Amino acid sequence: MYVCMCHAVTEDQVKKQIENGADTPRRIAKGCKAGTDCGSCVRRIQALLGEHGARPCPTARLAAKLGLAEPETGLVEAVRPLRAA
Ligand code: FES
């Protein structure tokens, strides 16, 4: 399955970069160019990094701090209003 359509990079290629030590989207990009054009694949790259033990991105850490996401994974389960209307 393709992760980055702009550069035709597959999920397996991204996982190979992770296995070779890439632990940030920037390092993934350096290895295979994924995420260096439109950027729409960066969140999927971040998710793949998270699935393989990398620290969640700063936005995910902030979401976890605010109680909007799981602290371990950084995955946001649902968007809910911060205060009642
Ligand atoms: S889909 Fe990856 S940079 Fe556009």
pLDDT in tens, 24-71: 899 999 999 999 999 999 999 988 998 887 766 677 667 777 877 665
- Does residue 44 share a domain with residue 7? yes
| 9 plus 26 within the same structural domain | yes
Whether the model pTM is above 0.75: no
Q: Write the CATH number for 46.
A: 1.10.10.1100
Q: Which atom of ligand 1 is nearest to the CA of 38?
A: 4
User: Do 31 and 71 belong together in one domain?
Assistant: no
Provide residues with CB under 6 Å of ligand 1. 4-6, 34-41
Contact call for residues 33 and 64 (beta carbons, < 8 A): no
- For residue 70, what are the domain limits? 56-85
pLDDT band at 79 (very low <50, low <70, confident <90, very high): very low
Same domain for 41 and 7: yes
**Residue for token digits 């602290």?**
71
Q: Report which DSSP code applies to 37.
A: S
Q: 10 pairs with which residues across the strands? A: 2
- What end-to-end distance do the CA atoms of the chain give, in Å? 42
> Residue 14: its pLDDT value, please?
95
> How high is the pLDDT of residue 55?
67
Is 71 within 8 Å of 64 (Cβ atoms)? yes
Residues 34 and 67 in one domain: no
When divided into structural domains, the chain yields a total of 2
Claim to verify: residue 49 and residue 63 sit in the same structural domain = no
Predicted confidence at residue 74, as pLDDT, reads 47
